[in-house]
Amino acid sequence: MTNDAITSAQAAWEEEALARVLKRFPERRGEFRTSSAETKRFYTPNDVTGVDYLRDVGFPGQYPFTRGVQPTMYRGRLWTMRQYAGFGTAQESNQRFRQLMADGQTGLSVAFDLPTQIGYDSDSEMAIGEVGQVGVAVDTLADMEDMFDGIPLDKISTSMTINAPAAILVAMYIAVAEKQGHAASVITGTAQNDVLKEYVARGTYIFPPRQSVRLAADLITYCAAETPRFNSISVSGYHIRDAGATAAQEIGFSFANAIEYISECERRGANIDDVAPRISWIFNTHNYFFEEVAKYRALRRMWARLMKERFGAQQAESMMFRTHTQTGGSTLTAQQPLNNIVRASIQSLAAVVGGVQSLALSCYDEALSIPTEQAQRMALRTQQIIAHETGAADTIDPLAGSYYVEWLTNELEREAQAIIDRVDDLGGSVAAIEGGYMQSEIQEAAVAYQREIESGERVIVGVNDFVDVEDQPQIIFRPNTTVGAEQVARLAKVRAGRDQGAVAASLARLREAARGDEPLMPPILEAVRTYATIGEMCGVLRDEWGEYTPPTVV
């Protein structure tokens, strides 16, 4: 059937069948939207006339990887099930990791407490009340040793959600592997190391953006040479989306940030095909099922084209977009928390249909507290049910060819590319952040979303509709309230037992490197091995580079 014939037939349908029904039963809303695009009643071949199958969709494992990065995808190997965990002391986190592994988890994911994330020791006045509360406290190599005690780092893959001081935590991880008798070259895992998104979405930055990009690039180039199986950066759309961005903004801003990191690595002499294969990602999966499936398809295609056409990558591995995803933390509700099990199930199914490489579910009680052990197990069991009972892992890219999904894939790519082009026009991500552009765009999207909730236009079950006034959440987990004192005492013991001269000498070498333009990872590793603290190392960099004061966004 020709496009003209479809157009004519659709017009007749609208004038007759549709008009009769609308007269009697108006639609629920005047406009239906995903987070990024208005959606029509339905889609036909006319909506995807510009799609060339071989050019734009192709086959799994082949450029442009729209349908997946591996030829067999989950038919050969399931995604990595990697629940986010970590709280209190290193010993407590070690126990939680062991329990998750016993339950069948196939990778670890570490949450660090706020002082660790912003480079303060547990005995700093800036750390009071925060030690071990939203993640594990790590002050020195001794804490990292305890956290992975009995966990072989040559066999387990570990993701670390750490940004501003990522180089220091990775150095600690490398040192632990060495103490276990493993070469750095065998470790696997990921460090987030995406500090640019901190300036626009989370706030756990320390240094000015340009110095932060230098530190991130130093870690990337070091790992490309020394830890070739370790992902030295996980560029994050996740936190951008949870801050209120649309799906298109999540793609556009995170890609713009990745461009900044790659450009800095190239300025420092790195070859694109050395660093690109170990760039990984973390994205957010929200409730609009079809948009999330289309998003992962668009991400793979856009990244492949970007690496090939903009950066001249030659290796297929450099063009493969590999992502972890976590279900949307901002979609969780404290009201009727068991509803969050349903939300996370739908979101994780969308991620699987979209073809991600690893997955974590935000636990149903996380709007209230750090997840309980029961909630962590439920999240893992949800993944296992999707993997083994639904058939979702049996067919690659099962929604390919859907007129709607193909249209939405194209639409997300178009909108995201416009955002990347705008950031380029502003001089790149650092300039866009320093000028407040990214922050203001995300803020506008977040405000618009909140207004929809408050007006009732957007229904959130249990929050602004279907409310149970007697609903009182009972399951709340809190870390040990004595963890701060315990961690401070442990830190004092480590300080007393180390070689103070070696610590001072290593920090002096780090200061000298920070003042110039030489690589920072060698002196950081040296300082870590002397049991210098994260606060001491970040203190040196604070002295040399200063701290960042963000622009006011109105």
Cis peptide before 64 (omega within 30 of 0): yes
Mean pLDDT of 8-20: 94
In angstroms, the first-to-last Cα distance of the chain is 53
Q: CA 148 from chain center: how many Å?
A: 23
Q: Is 110 helix (H, G, I), strand (E, B) or coil?
A: strand
- 49 CB burial (10 A radius; 0-12, 13-18, 19+): exposed
Distance CA 541, CA 54 (A): 50
The pLDDT value recorded for residue 277 is: 94
- The per-residue pLDDT for 482 is 82
User: How far apart are alpha carbons 394 and 360 in whole angstroms?
Assistant: 20
- Rounded-to-10 torsion of CA 181, 182, 183, 186: 180
Residue 472 pLDDT: 64
Cα gap 486→337, rounded to integer Å: 32
**Cα separation of 223 and 171, whole Å?**
10
Average pLDDT value for residue range 316-325: 96
> Token pair for residue 513?
């490197």
Q: What is the pLDDT of residues 356-415, one digit of tens each?
A: 999 999 999 999 888 888 999 999 999 999 999 999 999 999 999 999 999 999 999 999
HSE (side-chain half, CA atoms, 13 Å) at 249: 24
b/e sequence 224-236, b meaning 16+ C-beta within 10 Å: bebbbebbbbbbb
Q: What is the mean pLDDT of residues 225-237?
A: 95
Report d(CA 216, CA 228) in Å as an integer: 16
- Strand locations in 218-298, DSSP E? 230-231, 233-236, 279-285
Q: Which residues sit opposite 84 in a β-bridge?
A: 109
State how far the Cα of 96 lies from the Cα of 92, in Å rounded to an integer.
7
pLDDT at 331 over 70: yes
Place of tokens 């903004």: 249
Strand-by-strand arrangement of the 108-111 sheet: 84-85, 108-111, 157-161, 188-191, 230-231
Residue position matching structure tokens 């961690």:
487
pLDDT score for 474: 66
Q: Rounded to whole angstroms, how far apart are CA atoms 554 and 437?
A: 11
Q: Tell me the pLDDT tens digit for each residue of 173-215.
A: 999 999 999 999 999 999 999 999 999 999 999 999 999 999 9
Q: Mapping DSSP to helix (H, G, I), strand (E, B) and coil, where does residue 312 land?
A: coil
The CA distance from 518 to 522, in Å, is 10
Taking each helix axis from N to C end, the angle separating 534-545 and 500-515, rounded to the nearest 10 degrees, works out to: 30
Average pLDDT of the chain to the nearest whole number: 94
Lowest mean pLDDT among 31-45, 47-61, 540-554: 540-554
Would you put residue 193 in left (φ > 0), alpha (ψ -120 to 50) or beta? Answer: left
pLDDT (tens digit per residue) in 492-520: 999 999 999 999 999 999 999 999 999 99
**What is the spatial distance between Cα 347 and Cα 293, in angstroms, rounded to a whole number?**
9
- Output 329 or 482, whichever has higher pLDDT: 329
Q: Token pair of 531, please?
A: 């049991």
- pLDDT band at 79, cuts 50/70/90? very high
For residue 424, pLDDT over 90 is answered with yes
Which of the two residues, 528 and 480, has the higher pLDDT score?
A: 528
Q: At residue 319, does pLDDT exceed 70?
A: yes
Binned at pLDDT 50, 70 and 90, residue 83 comes out as confident
Q: Which of 272-281, 366-375, 462-471, 473-482 has the highest mean pLDDT?
A: 272-281
> Alpha-carbon distance 297 to 40, whole Å?
20
pLDDT band at 134 (very low <50, low <70, confident <90, very high): confident
What burial class does residue 8 get, using C-beta atoms within 10 Å of its C-beta: 0-12 exposed, 13-18 middle, 19+ buried? exposed
% pLDDT > 70, the chain: 97
What is the spatial distance between Cα 278 and Cα 226, in angstroms, rounded to a whole number? 12
Q: Are 327 and 343 in contact (CB under 8 A)?
A: yes
- Amino acid 477: pLDDT: 65
- The domain limits of the chain are 53-455
pLDDT of residue 107: 84
| CA R_g for the chain | 24
The pLDDT of residue 473: 62
For the chain, the farthest-separated pair of C-alpha atoms sits apart, in whole angstroms, at 87
User: DSSP state, 465?
Assistant: B
> CATH fold of 53-455, please?
TIM Barrel (3.20.20)
Q: Which residues contact 195 (CB under 8 A, 6 or more apart)?
A: 163, 164, 166, 205, 209, 212, 213, 215, 216
Would you say residue 475 has pLDDT above 70? no
Q: Do 292 and 251 form a contact (C-beta atoms < 8 A)?
A: no
Asked if residue 252 lies in contact with residue 419, where contact means CB atoms within 8 angstroms, the answer is yes
3-state secondary structure 127-174: HCCCCCCCCECCCCHHHHHHHCCCCCCCCCEEEEECCCCHHHHHHHHH
Q: In the predicted model, what is the mean pLDDT of residues 108-132?
A: 94
Structure-token match 């493993």, residue found: 182
Who wins on pLDDT, 87 or 131?
Answer: 131
Residue 153 in tokens = 């780092």
Confidence of residue 553 (pLDDT cuts 50, 70, 90): low
